[in-house]
Amino acid sequence: MENINFNSAATIQAKAGDSSAKVSIVAYTGGIITVGGWPQDVVIDLNGLQLSDKVPLLLDHQESISATVGQGRPEVVSGRLLLEGLISRNTDAGLQLLNLNAAKVDFQASVGVRPNRVEQVAAGESVIVNGKTFKAGRRGLAVVRSGTLREISIVTFGADSSTAVSIAASRKKEFQAMNEAEKFLEQLSNGGGDVVAAERDRVKTINALCDGNWGESSSTVSTLRAKAIDEEISVDELKSRLLDTLRASRPKAPGGIGDNNRGDITAKHLSAALLVKAGAVDTAVKSYGQDIVDQADQMGLKSIRDISAAALKMDGRDVPRSEQELIRASSSTYSLPTALGDSMNKQLLQFYRETPATWEKFSAMRQADDFHDKKSIRPSWAGELQEVGADGKLKHGELDESVFTWSVDTFGRMFGFSRRDMVNDSLGLIQETLPMMAQAAKRKFSDLVWSQIIDNSSSFFTGGNGNYGTTGSALSISTLETAVTAMMTQRDNYGNDLDILPKYLAVSPELMVTAKQILESIEIHAAEGDPVGNALRNVTELIVEPRISNTTKFTNASTTKWFLFAEKSSTPVLAGTSSMTPSPVVEVNDAPFDTLGQQVRVYQDIGAALGDYRAAYMATGAGGGE
């Protein structure tokens, strides 16, 4: 049985006669790589990479049976993408690989990833991915926050010799503008071309970029063409240099978009201008800084027409004279949809944070890397620390029933705006829609959390758990005293006090007045001779939640129910989001072919579960309370 180890380079020690070989691949170590067809450097967020149980092992990303050499199981360990699997001698490709290995040929690994969501990082900005901090270079940085591992290939040259990794699968067009080079790359990743065809198209792309009347810059362009064909520079670098050449050849304008004295327009300027246009000046300043906002204004980026023209110039394209053609052309650029999506995400996040949610006070937040069930531990499980004997051995604790499960699911909506709105310079529609979408997203999260609480899922509130009041539990000073005492005297299975303190009293609007009287009154009615001071004054904070009594939407809602919760550190309730989408995400794309305009989708990954029963108390409010 052969062993193949792929790191920076791979070596194979083959044994004759075996039908298969074990393979162990370090496919990606979480760093920056260069990908053909992408204008930026690329980093793959391993937390958002979707892995199947098995992925095929291919030769040179050729998706065909004849190019299949085996299969393996991928996993992410300590910030690295690893694969363990087998290479078969029973396929022509596998036999060819092992024969090449016998001839002392070195190999590398290359990952085929289909991006689902990409975060754009402007040049000079920093971002944390895979536990590392990366600073975007001159070309900017694309962070693949969500993607699918389609295959791993064995190649002679990878994109990064230190990690032996490249991305063969181009990003999908969905919600991204794609240039011709990227389209061609995706065709290759789907098995639609060979090396000769790829080279032919590469040269064709270079010639198309360099053709035309360049005037006094013709000599410069000819030199760049030769370097690109000889692969001294990449196609992306060629585009960048041609764009610089084009800008340098233009006469200086007295002001506005063409005024290079104020610097080149960047994606930040477009996004900031869109925020200002939408009335979100404070958000623009907070997100990009006052200098960028001022520069965008000085550059003349004041209307949709101005911003559209700037997007076309950023992509090195001509600006049509007709306003309608200008809007139409800019919609197909890479820069405008990206800037529009970025500005909308900034606004959506602000509106989302401003939308109130009562559960945020007592719910512990967690992040999931995928959509599988997750396990969390109730904080009260641990028991007490025990004395270590002379032998130095520590005794094991047992989890027993202290583990609970939770997961996240995806929720979203889509809306659109027409070309007429853009031509009419009408971003007011988006400005009105985004707060509503943010509120809808937060409301959905609130519905999920409170449905878990109100429905008492998994028999969380029970008499056996000491956190449930039934007959005679109508809200009153005496019943609140009972609940407070029950929570403060919670003990673990070994009789240890847990020191859990009640923090929040949650009631429906119908019980708000009663609750305020209990928590805020200085004196109470008492029998003659008894103390009249209110011992429960300000014992907790008051939360008024309308969902508790919303019988239209929640089957087990009631006007008499009330709840007591400890601090979120005690995890009475768990609220989960996805590491890929910790807050709602906005994405922008062209509308379907039969519709003129843009479409926008908003989605989020969220979930909720009841946590530690010792940190919560529910009363049905049945019967009277003294």
* CA atoms of 3 and 19, how far apart (whole Å): 13
Most confidently predicted of 9-13, 269-273, 302-306: 269-273
Confidence class for position 619, pLDDT limits 50, 70, 90: very high
Q: Would you tell me how many other CB atoms lie within 10 Å of the CB of residue 261?
A: 10
User: Across-strand partners of 609?
Assistant: 574
pLDDT in tens, 220-250: 787 788 778 777 788 877 877 777 776 565 5
Lowest mean pLDDT among 317-326, 328-337, 529-538, 591-600: 328-337
pLDDT in tens, 438-468: 888 899 999 999 999 999 877 899 999 999 9
- SS3 for 252-287 is CCCCHHHCHHHCCCCHHHHHHHHHHHCCCHHHHHHH
Confidence class for position 10, pLDDT limits 50, 70, 90: very low
CA 95 to chain centre: 41
5 CB-near residues (< 8 Å, 6+ apart): 11, 24, 25
What percent of the chain is modeled with pLDDT above 90?
20
For residues 101 and 107, is the Cβ–Cβ distance under 8 A?
yes
Q: Residue 153 has what DSSP assignment?
A: E
For residues 350 and 280, is the Cβ–Cβ distance under 8 A?
yes
In single-letter form, the type of residue at position 179 comes to N
Torsion of the alpha carbons at 250, 252, 253 and 255, rounded to the nearest 10? 130
More confident residue, 166 or 324: 324
Tell me the two tokens of residue 463: 């008499």
pLDDT in tens, 597-606: 667 778 889 9
User: Across-strand partners of 25?
Assistant: 6, 83
For residues 558 and 470, is the Cβ–Cβ distance under 8 A?
no
pLDDT given for residue 204 in this prediction:
79
H/E element holding 539?
Answer: none
Q: Enter the pTM of the model.
A: 0.51
pLDDT in tens, 385-427: 667 777 777 665 555 556 778 888 888 887 666 655 554 544 5
HSE (side-chain half, CA atoms, 13 Å) at 514: 21
- Residue 447's φ and ψ, nearest 5 degrees, are -60, -45
pLDDT in tens, 337-365: 566 666 667 777 777 788 889 999 999 99
Confidence class for position 508, pLDDT limits 50, 70, 90: very high
In single-letter form, the type of residue at position 461 comes to F
